Amino acid sequence: MFSSVLIANRGEIACRVIRTAKAMGLRTIAVYSDADANAAHVAEADEAHHIGPSPANESYLKADVILDVAKRSAAEAIHPGYGFLSENAEFADACEKAGVIFIGPTASAIRAMGLKDAAKALMEKANVPVVPGYHGDNQDPTFLAEQAGKIGYPVLIKAVAGGGGKGMRRVDAPDEFEKALASAQRESASAFGDDRVLVEKFVARPRHIEIQVFADTHGNAVHLFERDCSLQRRHQKVVEEAPAPDMPLDMREAMGAAAVAAAKAIDYRGAGTIEFIADASEGLKADGFYFMEMNTRLQVEHPVTEMITGQDLVEWQLRVAAGEELPATQDDLFIDGHAVEVRLYAEDPAKKFFPSTGTLHRLRLPSEEEGVRVDTGVREGDTVSMFYDPMIAKLITWDETRDGALRQMARALEVTEIAGLRANTAFLAEIVQNKDFISGDIDTGFIDAHLDVLVPSTGLPAPLIAVAALHEVLRRGADADGQSPWEATDSWTLGGGRTEPVPLEFGGDAIALSAHAVEGAWQINMDGASFTAKGHLLDGRLTAQVNGQRFAVGVIELSGGFVLMHKGASYEFTRPDPLDVDLQEQAGGNRFVAPLPGKIIQVLVKPGDKVRPGAPLVVLEAMKMEQTIQAQSAGTVETVGVAEGDQVEAGALLVAFEEAAE
């Protein structure tokens, strides 16, 4: 076994590798960009080295810089994590040339599976079933459109070198193909430096089921059963579980055998995942699955496999890379219970899952205990920036049954508190408590089909408005003289004092609130409704009773307001400033600004253009995803404030136009 390992990655996977490596007595070496100078993985490693500016292509993707750090730090091995250089064959070759162990497969195996078209051809030769489609070299748009017609709509356009949903577009009709192809090629070129695509038949009720495989250099190969990753948005996984619900034993055996055959076909080494699409239109069947792609690395969702097998897959990686045999044979492995993983993202589900950036003013994750695991690479006070994936943490729960694991997850999400940016906590809580999901009636279209019930309303429950008003009453009383509000000597009096306004805004809208102390409680009035509230505020926790209903709410003060956190959801209130002037409102007209920092990929209008509602104006790339800014009403473009290739900050003017007269 080598004695030191450099982790060529960041965030939660870097922390995950460091944890196991340290437990094995290895010296751990971290690398970091400007944005990550104070990151958790830097603090947890035995030593850390700066590798460049914040953009990934100037730091974490600089193979020569990372290899130089390996040389200077005397690292004997490099763990690439996932993403970045993890599936870069040239980097694997460079490690070997530099005399550093690459903790992953050989460069030849990466190349064999790195391009989806070549991988599918290889799998066909190995008698692994593949999805019907065109996987050839001809990239002429007209030819590809013809192939799509022959395959039959709907089809999927997929980046040849892709992954994580980037460069992937579903096309339902011929007249949509050209635009979808251009967008997929552009996104693929940006993400992978390769704009080639393939076209496949879209399976009507697909389940995304993958098999974890492992192989060593002694000719041994095993699978560690399946994971169901069907719940996705924008083709990116949101909820994963193991084993797959309702998986027949003969199908599990068939998929496992096919996955091992795929690994052996390329003389694989280390951890890999064979991803399949299963046709669930008539239920899961042993003859109803197709090879989709192989990920030649550890997967984000590997913890659910660890939870049901009791194995540490990072330890397996390190041992195999050191030349040891696999720690277990196929007969040694078995499924114990059920595990579920959710990905906490910095994003706003109510705004089409738009990424969110900002400082984590509050980050309270569930305590790790039996059946609950938390993998994260950020801490309270850290910043989620525009430069990297917006994942905050992974929550993983285990129980003897699937229902038990889901109940554990619901509780874990309920106690999660995030403030300072938008997060998908409440959205995830809705998923794991959804009756259709609990019943196992799932496919990759589940989230889109259930969006109306899964995405929490942007409205605010009236009892929580009363809780917010109570917070202001208690805060104001404590601020007045440092004592309990019941002892305050200002206008907030017991026994019939006058009613006082409680000025608050939510989502930019003023809320008409007032409070009146009566009989040891507060009467909160809003829009004709009245609530009786009482409670106490201590150390960022507000314990309240509103009309007899108990609320335990997290509270954090922000500049100009505060955030209430309740059952995984966050509600941000502001205190209106009477001297504040809305400059944008004064400016008039329709102004579209960058919702977060990013790069301008396309500018689709110019001054003088007439636009209709829904017309695309600008394509912005932020946090590894393309976002299209659309007109909300008809009008004429007056100003275009950006050009293609510009890097913009949040709030930068993109387009301004004059609305058409009604």
In single-letter form, the type of residue at position 262 comes to A
pLDDT level of residue 489 (50, 70, 90 thresholds) = very low
Beta strand 133-134 pairing with 197-201: antiparallel
pLDDT level of residue 95 (50, 70, 90 thresholds) = very high
Q: Phi/psi at 300 (nearest 5 deg)? A: -55, -40
Give dist(CA 570, CA 392) in Å, integer. Answer: 15
- The CA–CA distances, whole Å, from 304 to 192, 583, 634 equal 28, 50, 49
Q: What percent of the chain shows pLDDT beyond 90?
A: 68
CB 128 within 8 A of CB 113: no
Q: Which residue has the tokens 């004695």?
A: 3
Least confident of 22-31, 161-170, 324-333, 476-485: 476-485
pLDDT at 361 over 80: yes
Give dist(CA 155, CA 203) in Å, integer. Answer: 8
Which of 460, 470, 612 lies closest to 550, judged by CA? 470
Rounded to two decimals, what is the model's pTM?
Answer: 0.80
Q: Which residue has the tokens 């003013």?
A: 361
Mean pLDDT along residues 296-321: 98
Q: Which residue has the tokens 């690398």?
A: 31
Angle at 400 between CA 552 and CA 279, to 5 degrees: 100
pLDDT, mean over the chain: 90
Give dist(CA 182, CA 601) in Å, integer. Answer: 12
- In 3-state terms, what secondary structure has residue 242? strand
Tens digit of pLDDT for each residue in 567-606? 888 899 999 865 554 433 433 447 888 877 788 989 999 9
Per-residue H/E/C for 312-341? CHHHHHHHHHCCCCCCCCHHHCCCCCEEEE
User: What is the pLDDT, as a whole number, of residue 89?
Assistant: 96
pLDDT at 369 over 70: yes
Chain centroid to CA 554:
24
Mean pLDDT along residues 170-175: 95
DSSP 661: P
Which of 441, 456, 407, 648 lies closest to 566, judged by CA? 456
Tens digit of pLDDT for each residue in 198-253? 999 888 889 999 999 999 999 999 999 999 999 998 788 999 999 999 999 999 99
User: What is the pLDDT, as a whole number, of residue 458?
Assistant: 63
CB 126 within 8 A of CB 102: no
Helices 107-114 and 116-125 pack at an angle, to 10 degrees, of 100
Mean pLDDT along residues 75-104: 97
CB 613 within 8 A of CB 631: yes
Give dist(CA 35, CA 329) in Å, integer. Answer: 43
pLDDT level of residue 86 (50, 70, 90 thresholds) = very high
Mean pLDDT along residues 447-462: 86
Helical (H) or strand (E) element with 398 = strand 391-399
Which of 285, 288, 286, 264 lies closest to 277, judged by CA? 288
Tens digit of pLDDT for each residue in 622-651? 766 677 888 878 889 989 999 998 988 877
Mean pLDDT along residues 403-419: 96
Helices (H) and strands (E) in the chain, counts: 18, 41
Answer whether CATH 3.90.1560.10 is correct for domain 206-453: no
**Exposure string over 235-259, b if 16+ CB within 10 A, otherwise e:** bbbbbbbbbbbbbeeebbebbbebb
For 584-659, CATH gives 2.40.50.100
Looking at the DSSP bridge assignments, the partners of residue 548 are: none
CB 377 within 8 A of CB 314: no
CATH class of 132-201: alpha beta
CB 240 within 8 A of CB 340: yes
User: What is the pLDDT, as a whole number, of residue 581?
Assistant: 42
pLDDT at 371 over 60: yes
Give dist(CA 331, CA 587) in Å, integer. Answer: 71
Domain with CATH 3.30.470.20 in the chain: 206-453
Indicate the burial class of 649 (C-beta count within 10 angstroms; 0-12, 13-18, 19 or more). exposed
Q: Distance from first CA to last CA of the chain, Å, rounded?
A: 75
> DSSP per residue over 64-129, as a string?
HHHHHHHHHHT-SEEE--SSTTTT-HHHHHHHHHHT-EESS--HHHHHHHHSHHHHHHHHHHTT--
Contacts of 276 (CB under 8 A, 6+ apart): 208, 209, 210, 211, 255, 258, 289, 290, 291, 292
**Residue 294: Cβ within 10 Å count:** 31
Domain with CATH 2.40.50.100 in the chain: 584-659
Contacts of 498 (CB under 8 A, 6+ apart): 491, 516
Least confident of 103-107, 110-114, 222-226, 257-261: 110-114
Mean pLDDT along residues 388-409: 96
Contacts of 353 (CB under 8 A, 6+ apart): 233, 234, 345, 347, 424
Tell me which range, 11-15, 350-354, 451-455, 502-506, is most confidently predicted by mean pLDDT.
11-15
**Exposure string over 385-406, b if 16+ CB within 10 A, otherwise e:** bbbbbbbbbbbbbbbeebebbb
Tens digit of pLDDT for each residue in 501-557? 899 999 878 898 999 888 889 999 988 789 999 999 998 899 999 999 999 999 999
Q: List the structure tokens of 128.
A: 């692994």
| Active site members | 297
User: What is the pLDDT, as a whole number, of residue 129?
Assistant: 86
Question: What CATH topology corresponds to 4-103?
Answer: Rossmann fold (3.40.50)
User: What is the pLDDT, as a whole number, of residue 494?
Assistant: 44
**Residue 433: Cβ within 10 Å count:** 16
Which of 236, 143, 154 lies closest to 191, judged by CA? 236
Domain with CATH 3.40.50.20 in the chain: 4-103
Chain centroid to CA 19:
22
- Architecture per CATH, domain 462-574, reads as 2-Layer Sandwich (3.30)
